[in-house]
A = this chain, B = another copy of it.
Amino acid sequence: MSQWKQIQQLEIKYLEQVDYLYDDNFPMDIRQVLSNWIESQDWDTAANHESMATVLLNNLLSQLDRQCSQEQNFLQRHNLKIINQQLQLKYKASPLLMASVISTCLREERRIISTASIQEQGPLEKSLQN
């Protein structure tokens, strides 16, 4: 199951933690629309290699363009168009920053999923692990 699908199955108290990860720096709409592609890229490495970060940013923008042109829903299309413009303004001159933001979000998501799965275990399972 993709990381993003696991996130969406969390209890509300964990979802509220996920809420804090997403804002204009990395809008949740992108995380959802391009979830599989995002999870299959190496953002940790890109956060330290400008040429790789630039390629990933350009790929992300062209995928957003494609999604936008295929989207039938007016509101969704409008939002994707605005996000595309905002990301270009924000990251065209600093693609490393975008890679670093996405890398941090994905790592924090994994931390939240892991915390949730530990808390879900009963006392017996926890003691068997220790």
Taking beta carbons and an 8 Å cutoff, which residues of A are in contact with B?
A: 8, 15, 19, 22-23, 28-29, 32, 74-75, 78-79, 81-82
Contact = CB atoms under 8 A, between A and B. Distances in A.
A81 B28 contact: no
Closest 8 CB pairs of A and B: A28-B78, A32-B75, A19-B78, A28-B75, A8-B74, A15-B74, A22-B78, A19-B81
Contacts of A8: 74
Copies in the complex: 2
A23 B82 CA distance: 8
Contact of A75 (B23, B29, B74, B81): B29
A94 B13 CA distance: 34
Contact of A28 (B15, B23, B32, B79): B79
Nearest to A74: B8
Contacts of A74: 8, 15
A28 B29 CA distance: 14
B29 A79 contact: yes
A19 B82 CA distance: 9
